Amino acid sequence: MQHNYLIWVPKYAFDDSPGLYSCLYIFEILMIVTQLIADPFIIYRMYRTRPLHRNIRLIIVSCLSFTGLSSICRLVLLFFQYTGIPPPESGKYSVVLIASLGREVGLGVLVAIPFDVAVERIVATRHWSWYERESADTLWVFVCLLIFSVFIALLNGVCYVYEADFYRHISVALFDIFVQG
């Protein structure tokens, strides 16, 4: 079975100019490492921002955490991009699949930030007296949004990696029905 890996440019595409490939490869690794070093500081500052509601802060912090996961998965994929994708019989084959899924989930959760914030604000507007107290009950809104976002991102990633493109058309139709209500 053929899988879509999130390795877009194989090493042999730059056989004519290996220096350009090395520069792009090193630049991407430096950007990922810089992001991974900066993520804990950004997450800490974001969580300590008090004017924002706790759930908004948690949504942004969780999305930043998933972005870090996505970057780690991208580093794994860069390694296999450079050394070659292992054959399906080897044990490393599953590492490539998991890294592809992890990257897709991380990016999917990141893309869901506007939806998560919008739903959170709808709940906050309709139930403002309960919600603005920031009691422990309000964390269920965050938990439900996170589970929904991760589930959709994981479903999208699995369908993409296993080339089930019919899902994308169905999800667009379902989202349209959901929005129009």
Residue 111 has, within 13 A of its CA and on its CB side, a CA count of 13
Q: At 27, which helix (H) or strand (E)?
A: helix 18-47
Top-confidence range, 25-34, 85-94, 132-141: 25-34
pLDDT for position 165: 67
Closest Cα to residue 69, out of 46, 41, 101? 101
Topology annotation, domain 11-180:
Rhopdopsin 7-helix transmembrane proteins (1.20.1070)
Residue 53 sits at φ, ψ, to 5 deg, of: -65, 150
Residue 165 sits at φ, ψ, to 5 deg, of: -70, -15
Rounded Cα–Cα distance for residues 162 and 122 (Å): 35
13-22, 51-60, 99-108, range with the lowest pLDDT:
13-22
**With 90 as the cut, is the pLDDT of residue 68 above it?**
yes
Residue ranges per structural domain of the chain? 11-180
Closest Cα to residue 120, out of 136, 147, 141, 140? 141
Where does 67-153 show beta strands of DSSP type E?
none
pLDDT for position 4: 54
* In contact, 72 and 66? CB cutoff 8 Å: no
Closest Cα to residue 6, out of 152, 108, 111, 115? 108
**Could you say which DSSP state residue 11 is in?**
G
pLDDT digits (tens, 9 = 90+) for 117-157: 999 989 989 988 888 887 888 899 999 999 999 988 888 88
